[in-house]
Chains A and B, each alone.
Chain A
Amino acid sequence: MTWAAFQDAAANGIIAVAVFCFIVVFLRNMIGLAQLLIANWVFVTRIEPSEGARELWQRYADLAMPITVIAPAYNEELSIVESVKALLALEYPEHEVIVVNDGSKDDTLGQLLRAFELEKCDRRQIAELQQTKIRGAYTSRRFPNLLVIDKENGRKADAANAGLGFARTPLVCVIDADSIIEPDGLLRAAEPFMHDDGRLVAVGGAIRVVNGCTIKGGSLQEIGVAKGLVPRFQVVEYLRAFLTARVANAHTNTLMLISGAFGLFRRSTLVEIGGYRHDTVGEDLELVVRLHRHLREQKRDYRFAFVPDIVCWTEAPSALKGLDNQRARWQQGSLETLQRHRRMIFNPRYGRVGMLAMPHIVLEDVLGPPAELFGYIVIPAAALLGLLDPMMAVAFFFVSVVFGSALSVGTLILEEQQLRRTPSARDLLRIGWAALIENFGYRQINLWYRLQGVLRFLRKDSTWAAVPRAGFNAG
């Protein structure tokens, strides 16, 4: 090959990469716009739960399907008592709380034993889904709807499976022990089951970032907005994920993720598929994808629902240190899920899940991050070298950064018009500012973290680093 031929091939290669990056980023944002429009339509046409229906619901409380709230806890000695009290106080006709102490190294179990006057019991496990040993089960005479399971450490999926095995109710709600559930969060999440004709399998709910809020006794006292930029950026991300993407996906019956921080499932279906998988770091995504796969393969008519009202608050990493691990883990988890269920991708046997939802995950999680990150480098470089029209570089900047900002601010409009849970105009402005500037630096840093996740996936790294928490009320 001559030098000129090599130069030509290299130039063509660079042009191909640049065009590919542009197309991927353009497609991602067009899908984001479509999701925003669908979510807007859903919000505008939605009917809030009626008081009349609620009155009857209360009169015939036995129609409210009992729920077991499963809270896996690992080294939560500082907050576990308050969290469990808040869970026990949730508004719902009938619910049981199962706290699974996942081999904590601190005094999580001791705190529970003392605070709730627990006594050992021999409650039987109906389904053994965990891989580690159960050390004991405890009940409280003061709180008959509390059950504490003590087991060897096995990570969240294993702890949730252990709790699932002890649950006896038709619905289970799997949460993080440090999730703050809205007092009527269970009622609202169970609402779709009122209208259900037996097809509904699971319900997800909107989750918001709790950083900056005031928490007392394990309950949200006052909504606030964190002072730091990193949590504020995450407020915008959560709004975008929960108010647009999930709402739109649920509307098109392609909901592929129900967050690990709050998810309501039919117990029997979860047990049927063996509960959460232990060998992935993205167990929540994997679970929903596997549910889709299982139900489609069984040719069962089913549906997933999403409640756009906020049902749960969760603490987000307050600094980049911590965020890096979380984002890399999410990326790794989604690649693991895609690899495990790759036969669903573009497979008409799985209907719109196979033809639309799975390819969308590929676009978002496999092609998206590297395409955008390389695009920032390759496209301007190609334009400078005269290989591409400089307008393409400008268009790439606009489509990724300016359009991205517009989508974020569009989500804030949706929130303000429909939910209005941002405390004040000042806070709204602060979040709006974060939505504008997150595309200048934060977004790119996130892409970098996600590439780290790709590397972890390629290395088959199974280590799990806990996300450092600043604690509630840390601001």
Chain B
Amino acid sequence: MTLSLTFYDTVISGSAWMAIAVVAIFLLLVLRRYIAERRIAANKKIDAAITRSYLRRVAGHRPEGDEKGWTFRRRLAAVSQVQALLRGGERDRLMQIAELDGLLSATVRRSHSWRRSERVSAIRMLQRFGSESCIARLREMLARDRSQRVKVEAAFALAAAHALPPPRETMRILRMTARAPSKLDVALLRASAPDYPDQLALLLEDDLSPVWRAQVIDSLGWSGNVSVIALLEKAACHDHAEVRSAAMRASAKLGHPGGRDFVRSALHDPDATVRTQAVNACSALGLKEAVDDIRNLLEDPELWVRLRAEQALETLGFASGQAALNAYGSSSRSYA
């Protein structure tokens, strides 16, 4: 009896205390919101003053305004807003002024926070500052942060600043090859392609899995470097269909006529995915000489190949009314 009374007492008091605590916190939040609403006009005024002051300083004028209430967070928000509006020298000057105001050091401190979300916010700000010291800190975070997600965010910030390390290093640090590639991995590889086409080509000499080899081939298409055509041609004969498909995608993206022969050959590939990509590549390269082969694919046993063939013929200006209608409304990209 004593035991049960104790249990029921615990349930009652536990429920009651929890309800009281939760309601109290809720009321505090309502109060905080109420105060924030009351201060909206005043806060807007302060934000406008900070923004105006920075714009004046960028233009070389004296700062203005009473700096009371100009917290780091507000200043950072203002700088972040203004820098999106400025370009070139003005933007550089703004970021220098922000550094002089100690905003960069505050951001760097945030980048050491124990909270992952705080570190990611700092990464975004460091990316905006974009100075050498920011890039250095971003590289450090990419290499040494304990969170994989933060490392990926740092990599994206570096990519946006065209400061990604060579692809082999990026892949090693992010342990890319130990897992299946995500869309973000693909985007990172593509981002490094214009700066490191030779390094990407060297990667192909490694013992990569077909899935990752395909991603490297795909990214070569984004290099804008026509010397990679030979590599794509070799990849178009690879044993693995995924690699051959990637070669088609890369050729389509590169848009160089040097790829027309192996792209046309791929229209007869035994794998439907490769045929689909080859059709897309023909369409992207404007290969009118491939029209007969593409027409033959209208009878392909694979539905997706037939659909893409219809679309390609339409793009190349050879679609029959029937085919055009059938393909109408669907995408021009491969979903296979």
- List A residues at the B interface (Cβ < 8 Å): 26, 44-48, 50-53, 55-57, 59-60, 62-66, 94, 96, 121-124, 126, 139, 144-147, 168-170, 193-198, 389, 391-392, 394-395, 398-399, 402-403, 405-406, 409-410, 412-413, 416-417, 424-425, 428-429, 432, 436
Contacts and interface: CB of A to CB of B under 8 A. Distances in A.
Contacts of B37: 424-425
A63 B329 CA distance: 20
A395 B34 CA distance: 36
Interface string B138-166: 00000000000100010011011000000
A146 B328 CA distance: 10
A52 B153 contact: yes
B136 interface: no
Contact of A409 (B23, B181, B328, B333): B23
Q: Can you list the 4 inter-chain pairs with the closest CB atoms, starting with the nearest?
A: A52-B156, A197-B180, A425-B34, A398-B15
Given A391-B5, A391-B12, A47 B120 contact: yes
Contacts of A429: 30
25 contacts: A44-B117, A50-B156, A51-B127, A52-B153, A52-B157, A53-B156, A53-B187, A56-B191, A60-B222, A63-B183, A65-B183, A94-B331, A96-B331, A144-B329, A168-B307, A195-B184, A389-B1, A392-B4, A394-B8, A402-B19, A409-B19, A409-B23, A413-B25, A425-B31, A432-B30
Contact of B328 (A44, A121, A416): A121
B149 A47 contact: yes
A94 B334 CA distance: 12
A139 B29 contact: no
B65 to A, nearest CB: 28
A406 B15 contact: yes
Given A66-B331, A197-B182, A395-B8, A405 B19 contact: yes
Contacts, number: 166
B231 interface: no
Interface in B1-54: 1, 4-5, 7-9, 11-12, 15-16, 18-19, 22-23, 25-26, 29-31, 33-34, 37
B9 to A, nearest CB: 7
B273 to A, nearest CB: 13
A402 B11 CA distance: 11
Given A197-B179, A410-B22, A425-B34, A139 B5 contact: no
Contact of A60 (B5, B149, B160, B186): B186
Nearest to B5: A391
B74 interface: no
Given A402-B16, A405-B19, A391 B325 contact: no
Given A47-B116, A425-B30, A168 B11 contact: no
Contacts of A406: 15, 18-19, 22-23
A146 B329 contact: yes
A301 to B, nearest CB: 10
Nearest to A120: B325
Contacts of A46: 117
B123 interface: yes
B303 interface: yes
Contacts of A51: 124, 127
B14 to A, nearest CB: 8
Given A57-B187, A123-B326, A413 B11 contact: no
A403 B19 contact: yes
B325 A122 contact: yes
A398 B10 CA distance: 11
B117 A45 contact: yes
Contact of B329 (A123, A197, A398, A413): A123
Interface string B165-208: 00000000000000111111011101100000000000000000
Given A47-B120, A50-B124, A51-B124, A96 B160 contact: no
A44 to B, nearest CB: 8
Given A52-B159, A195-B182, A389-B8, A124 B333 contact: no
Given A96-B331, A195-B183, 10 more contacts: A45-B115, A52-B153, A60-B187, A63-B183, A63-B186, A121-B328, A124-B326, A194-B183, A403-B19, A406-B23
Contacts of A60: 186-187, 190, 222
B329 A399 contact: no
A364 to B, nearest CB: 20
A416 B22 contact: no
A50 B330 contact: no
A44 B113 CA distance: 14
A47 B149 CA distance: 9
Interface string B89-129: 00000000000000000000000000111001001100100
Nearest to A408: B22
A399 B8 CA distance: 10
Given A47-B116, A52-B127, A96-B331, A432 B11 contact: no
Nearest to B25: A413
A197 B12 contact: no
Contacts of A410: 22
Contacts of B11: 26, 395, 398-399
Contacts of A391: 4-5, 8-9, 12
Given A395-B11, A402-B16, A406-B15, A62 B333 contact: yes
B187 A63 contact: yes
B4 A96 contact: no
Contact of A56 (B115, B116, B187): B187
Contacts of B34: 425
B245 to A, nearest CB: 14
A428 B33 CA distance: 9
B224 to A, nearest CB: 13
A53 B30 contact: no
Q: Which of A62, A170, A394, A424 has the most CB of B within 10 A?
A: A62
Contacts of B303: 126
Contacts of A53: 153, 156, 184, 187
B180 A198 contact: yes
B310 to A, nearest CB: 10
A394 B15 CA distance: 11
Nearest to B34: A425
B15 A399 contact: yes
Contact of B33 (A52, A56, A403, A416): A416
B183 A193 contact: yes
A168 B326 CA distance: 12
Given A52-B156, A122-B325, A194 B19 contact: no
